[in-house]
Structures are given as structure tokens and as C-alpha cells.
Amino acid sequence: MAAIDPVIDVRVQADDFDVGVELGRLEALGGGAVGSFTGIVRGGDGLIALVLEHHPVMTAKTLRQIAEEAAARWPLLGVTLIHRHGRLEPGARIVLVGTASPHRAAALEATMFLIDWLKTRAPFWKQECFADGGKTWVEARSADNAAAEKWGAAHG
Amino acid sequence: MAIEMLYFAWVRERVGMGAERVDPPADIATVADLIGWLAGQSGGHAAAFEDAGRIRAAIDDRFVGLDAAIGGAREIALFPPVTGG
């Protein structure tokens, strides 16, 4: 469907990222519309950190497949997916989804699609660490599954 | 048929290790069969695999259903539903 070959940039890393720099790269693709979502560690209820575990071989591959699926559905010039792993404290950035397109609807819809699919398909697991020493693995949420399913099945 | 197993998140914690090599009997044909067989290997395995409905799987780095055949698998990962993003 998409006639253009988008620039797909997928990174899985422990380090933080600079949202301004990343969106600037997407702006430079010349599309006129850049959409983005940044996920942040939410504090409260005594949470002192999240620890993100991942499947090192599968994560980058899965993120790339999700990015390619978005590029097959919308006319995108660029897709940036950055997901951090390791220990992250409240206020830390976890994930960045960025899209560039000639059209704002495509940029915004693709961003929504990417985070919905990423949450239910990318092999990451969050553990919550609390001030009292307690640790809990986050349970998958049916609301996340419903959000992902509304986009339908994979094209290929 | 030796298989390299990988475990993640609370599956890894309950089993007590992140990876192991297993050699299941020949009648273990699917991922679900494998989970049932693994549950009998130790107390930790039993705790990890007591409810197969909570387990997801990948064979050689591809997500599969629990009904997937394991013939020819080199590596199988077992883990809870993912919670990234």
C-alpha cells in the first residue's frame, strides 16, 4: 500500500534517549507531520523502580516487524522505536514511538497502532520494586489486549 | 532430542534458572506437552508451570501457540504474557 520506503530505526538499550534529537531526525525526513508517544515510569504506591527484562534475541526483531507492519498500513517516511531495559526509576523514559508522514492522520494513527501492538507483542516484562522491598511482576492487562486487537491481524 | 530452554520473568524465577538443556521423551510432541513434562521435573518447575494457560512460548525466536509442534526445535522460550511499553 505504502509507495514510499520508510526509514525504520529500532533500538533496544539500557541508556536514556533524547526525545528532541529523535523527533528532529523524523522532522528532517521532510514529511510535514511527525507523531510521537513517550512512555514514562509512573510513580506512586511506594514504587521505587521498574526493572524491565527482555528476550535479547527477539526484542529488536519483533520491534522491527511491528514497525514494518505500520509502514505497510500507513504512508510513513520514518518510524523510530526505542525501548529501554534494565532498572528505571519513576519519571524515567521507557519507550519512544515516533512516526513521520506527509499526513497528520497517518502519523498519529500509526503512533497509536505502534504503541498498542508493542505493548502486547514485544517480549518485555516489567517488575515493580517497592520501598518496603516487595517486588511484583506486572500482569498483562485485558484493556491492552483489546486496544491491540482493534487494529486487526497482521498483514503478512 | 535435546532442546535449549529459555525462561523469562516469573517463569525464570520459579524454575530457578534462566536457561537449561532438556531432553524430553519422544512422545512429547507439542509445547503444551513439554510444559506438562517440565512441570514434573522439580518443585520450581511445578510452580512455574502449574497453570499452562498463563504461559506463552517462542520456538527458535518465533512466537507460537501452545499447540505448536516442537519437532526440530533448537531453542524454546517459555514466559508470561508480555508487559512492555
Q: Is the CB of residue B8 less than 8 Å away from at least one CB of chain A? A: yes
Give the pLDDT of residue A156: 55
> Can you give the residue ranges of every domain in chain B?
3-73
Does B58 sit within 8 Å of A125, measured CB to CB? Answer: no
Q: Measuring CA to CA, how many Å separate B73 from each of A29, A56, A82, B77?
A: 42, 18, 30, 11
- Phi/psi for A6 (5° steps) reads -80, 155
Alpha carbon distance B47, B45 (integer Å)? 5
Query: What pLDDT shows up at residue A5?
Result: 86
Q: Which residue of B has its CA nearest to A65?
A: B62
In terms of CA atoms, which chain A residue is nearest residue B64? A121
Q: Is there a contact between A54 and B84 if contact means CB atoms under 8 Å apart?
A: yes
How, if at all, do strands B3-7 and B75-79 pair?
Answer: parallel
C-alpha cell at A118: 508493542
A116: closest CA among B67, B80, B84, B54?
B84
pLDDT at position A153: 87
Contact check, Cβ <8 Å, B82/A53: no
Distance CA A66, CA B57 (A): 18
Query: A92: closest CA among A20, A21, A40?
Result: A40
Note whether B9 contacts A: Cβ–Cβ < 8 A. yes
CA A46 to CA A104: how far, in whole Å?
A: 39
Measured between alpha carbons, how far apart are the two ends of chain A, in Å?
Answer: 13
Domains in chain A, CATH or no CATH each: 7-149 (3.90.1170.40)
Most B CBs within 10 Å, among A37, A53, A94, A97, to test the B interface: A53
**What pLDDT was estimated at residue A154?**
84
Under the banding of pLDDT at 50, 70 and 90, the label for residue B1 is confident
Q: pLDDT tens digits for B56-85?
A: 999 999 999 999 999 999 999 999 999 999
Residue in B6, B8, B61 nearest the CB of A125:
B8
Please indicate whether, in this complex, the C-beta atoms of B10 and A94 are within 8 angstroms of each other.
no
Looking at the domain covering B3-73, what would its CATH class be?
alpha beta
pLDDT at A155: 75
Chain B residues within 8 A of A124 when measuring between CB atoms: 82-85
Distance CA A25, CA A9 (A): 10
pLDDT under 50 in chain A at which residues? none
CB atoms within 10 A of CB B46: 14
Residues of B in contact with A39 (CB under 8 A): 85
- Can you tell me the mean pLDDT for B19-46? 97
